[in-house]
Structure 1
Amino acid sequence: MEFDSNAGNGRIVNTIIMPVIGIVVLAVLFVFAILVWSSKVTDEAAVTSQSNLLREAIQLQLDQVAKQQEGAAVWDDAFFRAERGLENRDWLRHHVAAWLAEGYGHSRSLILDSDRSVLVVYDRSGDTGWASEALLNALKGPIARVRARYINSFVMTPSGTYKFQPVYRNFHHSLFETGVVRIDAAPYYFSVTAIAPDLHTIGADREPPAVIVSFVPLNSLTLGRLAEMAGLDGIAATQPTNTRPGMADILLKDPGNTPVVRLNWNPTQPGSAMLNRLLPVMVILALAIAVLTAVLLNYARQSTRRLARSEAKAVYASQHDSLTGLPNRDFFTRMLTQALAAQTDERDLTAVVYIDLDHFKDINDTLGHAAGDEVLRAVTARLRGVVPPTGLLARISGDEFAMVLSQCSSRALIEYQLSRVQDELIRPVKVAGTELFVSLSMGAAIAPQDGTGAGELLRKADIALYDAKANGRGRWSFFDPAMEEYVQTRDNIARELRRAIDNDALAVAYQPQLSSKTGKITAVETLVRWTHPERGPISPANFVPIAEETGLINDLGLWVLRRACRDAHLWPDVMISVNISPTQFRHPRFIDQLIETLASYDLPPSRLEIEVTESVFAGKDAAVLNVMKRLRELGVKIALDDFGSGYSSLSYLRRFPFDILKIDRDFILPAGDSAQAQAILRTIIDLGEALDMTVVAEGIETAEQMDFLTSIGCERLQGYFISRPGPAEEVAPMIVSGAIDSRVKMSTGRLRAG
């Protein structure tokens, strides 16, 4: 399909660039809106702060008026004269009201006696008509509060008299109330102060005080000082209903909550000032963004084709394996799901096949990973050649492939396709001038009989692959429900074996080895036993391979080693022999764990024999040789078990430091009547003597076998004829007492006598 670059360009511009431009424009507008909003909020906060400063300055002026009033109000002479009332009116007018007017500018004053009657009305101009009933009503609250605080300031003494003991506020020494009031349409500060004694503070009774109310006009002089105190510019007083545009203001009210005057001033506006400074910068920034957006549009149009090609490559790479070019696991699973959904004819079969290269790890280990990659590419090319057009091939991981065969009319056709896959690998694969014969194992699950879901079919194909590999490799297996049952049983046994190891629920049996020279037991072989609480006894031939597959063999082998070393204390003169799995032998901590175990049970290394089979080597001769050398340095003996069963046993004897040879039981069984078997046994024993190795014959079941082996110099004898394996409590008496079966005694006695 041809790719339309212009159409692609338009799609990318419409789907990516235009939204980006829209976001940028919205972002710029949002920033402008934020700046305008921030400047407005800042201006409002500044006005609020200025209003608070102005109110605090007004309060300071009112406190100052009260402080000035204090000099005339807290005075014993004024206190007693005010108590006598009208006869001292002139004195109070001259020494209190006039004094406040001349000294502090309190232009008007009222003095009320203890009954709230007006004693003195004072005005510099001599006018007395300003003291209206409305004014007295407005002042009624402050006057009442001052009188109440005065009365409450008396404390009764033990003698029954009252002592004037007021609680003053701030730095004042008077009881006062302040505020703003309107007189003849003009605003005034006022202060109401109780006329109180200065020194004479003891009285027989509590009497309400006379009060003085003085007024200071809120004129230009007062407003000027107020502006200086608050740090504001151009404070002016207007009618309460008047507001001036562009000016900040506060409304002052009298004690009755009636508006008195509105104070206006020129507010400082830091937010607007900041906006005016930033606006040119923001305009320049907006222009720069516009230019940058235009450049970006041009670059996007030029890069569209490259982006489209890169996208196609990225999609392909995310769905395919980089080494072979085959679909990967995820893509394969999606395509399998689609193939299953598209299957409409119930008679058609769809096979899901797992393919695994046999012993591929050996290729990587011996020839290197580069050679392994070449093999994978060559195998891929051959598999592609046999997959039908309706099929699908994928690389799942490592050396594992998967194949789908769709629209198959019968199982025979599926088997035919699998045979073609096998036939493709009969020919060797050439890698770096070397011909390699590669075989593969396959496991197949068929839809719909084995399932209809991709996950289910893949799981069952994997189970079938396991069966093919377990039954010799180089073959294929179709899924059978019995396979799944076997896998589940294997998994259950693995989990239960793990619990048995952790809970110390296993057991060991010991089989004695008899010395042909002394007729006494010189060694015992340790054999693991497991009696399941529900399944009953489980043969080691069943659970040891499962332990190998699941990685439990290290823990199992260590458990057996510890138990053998613990029980070996019962037999101080007997060697203890323990079979070690190849996996455990190659474990990096095997030597450390062995040393820790010997130390834990205080067992000399010279009393321990390690039995290994030739499968322990498996291409890692150098590593195995290093482990053997360390064991020999410790004093541990090493036995080659099942000698003669492998094709390369003789080469191992030459290259590796074995101490003991254990002859495989297949050579022992015919020794009673086969001259050929007897000749082989003589050769093995002579070989052991020549190499200074102890030879052990295992699997002895008759007296004839035992007699013959003793006669040709076999040093140790082991088998059911001598003793069956048994628990420590059964074997221990036999070892300690030297008691063995009478028939064995007769045979060994006859041989020693001869």
Structure 2
Amino acid sequence: MRLHNSEAVDPTEAAYLRAVLEAYARQVPVLYVILTISAVTLAASHLRVAPLALAVAAPAVLIAICTLRIVTWARRRNRPMDYPAARRALRTANILGPVLGAGFLGWALALFQYSDPFLQAHVIFFCGFTVVSCIFCQLHARTAALGVTLAVVPALTLFLLTRGQPTLVAIGVNLALVSAAMVRMLFVHSRSFREMILGQLETKRLSDENYRLANLDSLTSLPNRRRFFARLDEAIENVGSRGRFVVGVIDLDGFKPINDLYGHIAGDKVLIEAGDRLAAAAGDDTFISRLGGDEFAVIFAGSVSDAEALGFAERMCAALQAPFALQGGSAKISASVGLVSSDQCGGSAKLLYERADYALYFAKGARRGHPVMFSAEHETAIRRFHAVEQALMSADIDREFSLNYQPIVDARTGKVGSLEALARWTSPTAGVVSPADFIPVAERSELINYITQALLRRALADAAAWPDHVGLSFNLSARDLSPEAMLGIIGLVRASGLDPKRLVFEITETAAMRDFALAESALNALHALGVGVALDDFGAGHSSLTYVRLLPLDEIKIDRGFILDIERDPTSRDITRSMVDLCRNLKLACVIEGVETETQRDILTGLGCRLMQGYLFSPPLKAEDIPLRLGDALLAA
């Protein structure tokens, strides 16, 4: 083993050196025990013939050194060493080994002159046995073994050859040849040992790399989804000893537009920095991972309370609100977090994750940009969700679903320009189910496409009975924008015979943001068909003028949330005026939703609004009630 000073340490060489030291530490105490036993027996056989200095004092010093080295290596064997310490330990062995070997040889040869033929044979046996023991016990530390061999064998061989006695000469020649053969074996073993250690290191490296690939996210280097659930299982197993913990699911709000508008390279940069910010905001007992896409997860351990977990999550949300620097500009996002405590779900990792995910869903709808802790009210909502899901899976769509229509009115003339189709469901098992309840359930499966097409077929048939100037407005889900679903929708419109100019399809901002490229492609296909396209609930989400500019829109529907306080809040009036002006400048129709009072209507008319929808004009109507309720005057051109 070559030892040298170097500023840069090869990790492989450092690991190999430590392996040599570990093997040496296990074997070298055995060598010193052998030397001690052999020295004691040799000294005992010469007590009556040699001076006490040689028979007692000299071996006592050598045995004391051996004992000290046994203790030293016994302590060192189970103690981890860094690279410099390992080098020092082996360097000491390389120096001390030959010195101690020469000391034993000198002592033994000094006894030779006081020995009879039998005792001389004992001395020669002791010397030869010492060499063999040193080589075998130091096979892994080649330099140390060679040092002892060179310090003992040449001198002993020369001593025997110069005695002039044929038997001693033969022993000397035999010793030299056997030692040479053993040195050859030493080199072969040393090379094999090195190859074995390097092979083990490579195997460990590959194993570590496989573990990293299996458990770390390749983009952010955070633990991945697999590692998160493994850690969650560990936390559940240790809840008795470490106390309760809190699980969180984090979703980036507004990330999708960054991918759509700046490209995936910019999106990856944001994800990497978001992971770094989350890790920096995490505490000692906080485990952060990336589940995939723009979704992260966190485990707050250490008997953290709900209030403490909410505080941690708020700091994480704040950390993600700072702008992200991108090439040529910056982008801002926020994060919503769903949290659940470990004592909510009876030790089930799956239930913990599902409830944290539900709390996240609630946060994105009600407290976007903030954390929400799963509560008993959420548990009730989940049960309701599952009940609706079960009822929907077995529902007779054509029989149980129906349509109501709410007019969109020109407030200045009182004339109905179009009617919006609104889905209704009465289940024999779940009763009357609100669209706010059954649409999210349907969107989790392919059922939404079937429901959309079944209701669109019915709406087109109803609209065919209306006057030609009255249009139909129909809502599409985000899942309805897929190429396959869009082909079915276009096919229904063409087969209906209804003039496409009488038809407007509405999509929400959320649907457009989910996959901008898909939304743009689908709406272009509808435009090519000749139908109109409306952006529904404008202002309710993260409104972006980029969507208004890039999407093929004909109409914008302003969310009812801006109308609620318009009678007493000047800010609501100013915002509404700005959106109406925006539509006018972009030559887009503007529909105000949720108008319920005459005062609201008058204010909106004063702001330049014409098209309105709400209970002031009419509640949703069944198809057969439309002529009776609205009257021929409202439906007249």
What range describes the TM-score normalised by the shorter chain of this pair?
A: 0.5 to 0.7
Counting only pairs closer than 5 Å after superposition, residues 503-652 of structure 1 correspond to structure 2 as 503-512=398-407, 523-548=418-443, 552-571=447-466, 573=468, 575-581=470-476, 583=478, 586-589=481-484, 591-612=486-507, 617-618=512-513, 630-639=525-534
Contact 2:254–2:542 (Cα < 8 Å) also in 1 = no
Kindly state the Cα deviation for residue 614 of structure 1 after the two structures are TM-superposed. 5.8
Please report how far the alpha carbon of residue 698 of structure 1 lies from its aligned counterpart in structure 2 after TM superposition.
6.4
Q: CA deviation at 1:509?
A: 1.6
- Alignment of 1:405 with 2:300, yes or no, is yes
Tell me if 1:375 matches 2:270: yes
Q: Separation in 2 of the partners of 1:664 and 1:589? A: 30
Counterpart for residue 228 of structure 1: none
CA pair 567-682 structure 1, distance change in 2 beyond 3 A: same
Matched position secondary structure for 2:621:
coil
Query: How many Å apart are 1:364 and its aligned residue?
Result: 3.1
**C-alpha contact (below 8 Å) 1:354/1:442 kept by paired residues:** yes
Which 10-residue stretch deviates more, 425-434 or 563-572?
425-434
1:661 and 1:693 in contact (8 A); partners too: yes
1:729 correspondence with 2:624: yes
Q: CA deviation at 1:567?
A: 2.0
Shift of 1:520: 6.9
TM-score (norm 2): 0.56
Query: 1:444 and 1:304 mapped to 2: Cα distance?
Result: 43
Q: Are 1:463 and 2:368 matched, yes or no?
A: no
Deviation at 1:463, TM superposition (A): 3.3
Q: Equivalences for 1:95-494 in 2 at 5 Å?
A: 303-345=199-241, 348-408=243-303, 410-432=305-327, 434-448=329-343, 450-494=345-389
Distance 2:571 2:275 in 1: 50
Aligned partners of 1:409, 1:669: CA distance in 2, in Å? 40
Superimposed CA distance per residue, residues 654-697 of structure 1 (whole angstroms, 9 cap, x where no aligned partner)? 87766567677688899999999999999999998998877767
8 Å contact kept, 2:475–2:507: yes
**CA deviation after TM superposition for structure 1 residue 710, in Å:** 9.9
Shift of 1:565: 1.1
Tell me the secondary structure at the aligned position of residue 299 of structure 2: strand
State the secondary structure of the residue aligned to 1:445.
strand
Rounded to whole Å, the distance in 1 between the matches of 2:207 and 2:575 is: 72
Equivalent-residue separation in structure 1 for 2:578 and 2:301 (angstroms): 60
Change (3 A) 1:536 1:316: closer
In the alignment, the residues of structure 2 paired with residue 463 and residue 683 of structure 1 have an alpha-carbon distance, to the nearest angstrom, of: 35
SS of residue matched to 1:474:
coil
Deviations along 1:635-665, whole A, 9 cap, x unmatched?
4344565678899799988877665676776
> Alignment partner of 1:452: what SS?
coil
CA–CA separation in structure 2 for the residues paired with 1:627 and 1:563: 22
Aligned partners of 2:570, 2:284: CA distance in 1, in Å? 63
8 Å contact from structure 1 (residues 501, 556) kept in 2: no
**Identity value in percent:** 34
Partner Cα distance (1:725, 1:639) in 2: 19
Counterpart contact for 2:424–2:434, Cα < 8 Å: yes
CA contact 1:553–1:583 (8 Å) conserved in 2: no
Shift of 1:508: 0.8
Report how far residue 541 of structure 1 moved.
3.7
Distance 1:553 1:381, change over 3 A: same
Q: Which moved more, 1:682-691 or 1:518-527?
A: 682-691
- What secondary structure sits across from 1:524 in the alignment? strand
Higher deviation after alignment, 679-688 or 443-452: 679-688
Deviations 1:139-185 (A, max 9, x none): xxxxxxxxxxxxxxxxxxxxxxxxxxxxxxxxxxxxxxxxxxxxxxx
Distance change in 2, residues 1:533/1:694 (3 Å) = same
Aligned letter for 2:335? L
Amino acid paired to 1:447: S
1:366/1:530 Cα in 2 relative to 1: closer, same or farther (>3 Å)? same
Greater C-alpha radius of gyration: 1
Separation in 2 of the partners of 1:445 and 1:381?
23
* Structure 2 counterpart of 1:484, one-letter code: E
In 1, the alpha carbon distance for the partners of 2:221 and 2:579 equals 55
C-alpha separation between the residues in 1 aligned to 2:576 and 2:287? 57
Shift of 1:446: 2.8
What is the SS of the residue equivalent to 1:468? helix
Q: Deviations over 1:230-258 (max 9, x none)?
A: xxxxxxxxxxxxxxxxxxxxxxxxxxxxx
> 2:256·2:513 contact (CA, 8 Å) conserved in 1?
no
Q: In structure 1, give the amino acid aligned to 2:449.
A: N
Q: Deviations over 1:432-473 (max 9, x none)?
A: 575444533333333346533544444433333333333333
Provide TM-score, normalisation by structure 1: 0.48
Instruction: Output the CA distance in 2 between the equivalents of 1:578 and 1:662.
Output: 11
SS of 1:321's equivalent in the other structure is coil
- Cα pair 1:582 1:615 within 8 Å, conserved: no
SS of residue matched to 2:302:
strand
* Structure 2: distance between partners of 1:519 and 1:614: 29
Q: Which runs of 5+ in 2 are unaligned?
A: 1-13, 25-190
Separation in structure 2 between the aligned mates of residue 402 and residue 363 of structure 1, nearest angstrom = 21
Between Structure 1 and Structure 2, the one with more helix by share is 2
Report if the CA contact (8 A) 1:464-1:483 is conserved.
yes
Contact 1:575 1:609 survives alignment (8 Å): no
For 1:507 and 1:303, the matched residues in 2 are separated by 71
CA apart distance, 1:564 = 0.8
Letter in 2 for 1:329: R
Change (3 A) 1:335 1:504: same
CA contact (8 A) 2:260 2:517 kept: no
Is the CA contact (8 Å cut-off) linking 2:281 and 2:315 kept in structure 1?
A: yes
**Cα distance per residue 1:17-42 (max 9 Å; x no partner):** xxxxxxxxxxxxxxxxxxxxxxxxxx
CA separation of 1:296/1:373 partners in 2, compared to 1, >3 Å: closer, same or farther? same
Aligned residues of 1:328 and 1:396 also touching (Cα < 8 A) = yes
Out of 472-481 and 680-689, give the one that drifted further. 680-689
SS in 1 for 2:222: coil
What RMSD over aligned residues (CA atoms) do the two structures have, in Å? 5.3
Q: Secondary structure at the match of 1:555?
A: helix
Change (3 A) 1:671 1:533: same
Q: CA–CA distance in 1 between the matches of 2:544 and 2:239?
A: 56
Larger fraction in strand: 1
Q: 1:625 to 1:314 in 2, by over 3 A?
A: closer
SS, match of residue 526 in structure 1: strand
Q: Does the 8 Å contact 1:554/1:583 carry over to 2?
A: no
- Are the equivalent residues in 2 in contact too, given 1:564–1:578 (CA < 8 A)? no
Displacement of 1:401 after TM fit?
3.2
Matches within 5 A, 1:600-749: 600-612=495-507, 617-618=512-513, 630-639=525-534, 720=615, 723-732=618-627, 738-739=631-632
**TM superposition shift of 1:475:** 1.9
